[in-house]
Amino acid sequence: MEWYVFAIGTAVLASVAAIIEKRTLIKENPLEFSTTLGLFNALISLPIIFFISSNISFGILLFVYLISLLGTFAFYLVAKAVRHMDISITSPLLNFESAILLVLAILILGEKIAPIQVMGISILVIGGYLLELPKNLNFNTPLKIFLKSKYIHFIFLALIIYAFSSLGDKVVLNYMQPLELILISHLFIAINYVIMISILQNGFRSIKHGMKKAWKYTLLMSLFTTSYRILQAQAMSMTFVSLVIPIKQLSTAISTFVGGEFFHEKRVIFRSLIAIVMVIGAALVILG
């Protein structure tokens, strides 16, 4: 089977997972949801243990755990934002991750930026700004919203954290297989959330409450999330990451339109068109 079949499957499953996440978070506490999802992800990933054959050093395991801390905190921030914002706003904004990752690669790895990547970043910035543009075309409104909305701040902070996490994953994949990384990361993230909910809330009582309220939707999201991560890992093992990620980013456009219509949000068509333009911008950043 060709790599792009796995990549397209990744985009479709990721968009479904995003819609289920929004559906669940309408009524569910973000930390309870994140913890329950983390536990389900770890449980569903356990069969991967039968495919692990290599010896992984303690140093690499420690590094993976540090990366998992970043992923834990970043997902929780996104969950808080998704709960309070339209999915037709949050999904397109996630395309900024590629631009942030490029900037970090320049600053940390010394990579050079190409003119086409500058164009891609410009498209992302303009697209992100236009998402909040009102019908009366008051161009000051988006700036005021971006400055005041803590949930938009949460998203961008999460994307910065995810970018550092992606750089870490890139290093780790030199020492272990993608499926090994998925299993170990899921186990560590589940542990992190159990510790986090024990400190911030009522521990296992909160987990039990989250399971009781939304275990069906959370389990369903876990199945889609784990599946698209496996498909993405398979696609990346067959071709360049720079080819897989732009296709995967199409999930943001799908979830913007389908999710926006499903939740009866405003200006869905306009936001979907902006999301498509931002996907193009993200592709230019990655392919450049």
> Tens-of-pLDDT digits for all 288 residues of the chain?
788 788 889 999 999 999 999 999 888 889 999 999 999 999 998 988 887 766 788 899 999 999 999 999 999 999 999 998 899 888 888 888 778 877 877 787 676 778 888 888 888 888 887 877 766 667 677 777 777 889 999 999 999 998 888 788 878 878 888 888 889 999 999 999 999 999 988 878 888 887 887 788 889 999 998 888 888 877 877 776 667 777 888 888 899 989 889 888 888 898 899 889 888 888 888 776
> Is 3 in contact with 239 (CB distance < 8 Å)?
yes
Q: Which amino acid is at 242?
A: S
CA 28 – CA 34 distance, rounded (Å): 10
How many structural domains does the chain have?
1
Would you call 222 exposed, middle or buried from its count of C-beta atoms within 10 A (0-12, 13-18, 19+)?
buried
Q: Tokens 């890992």, residue?
A: 233
Q: Which amino acid is at 215?
A: W
pLDDT at 135: 67
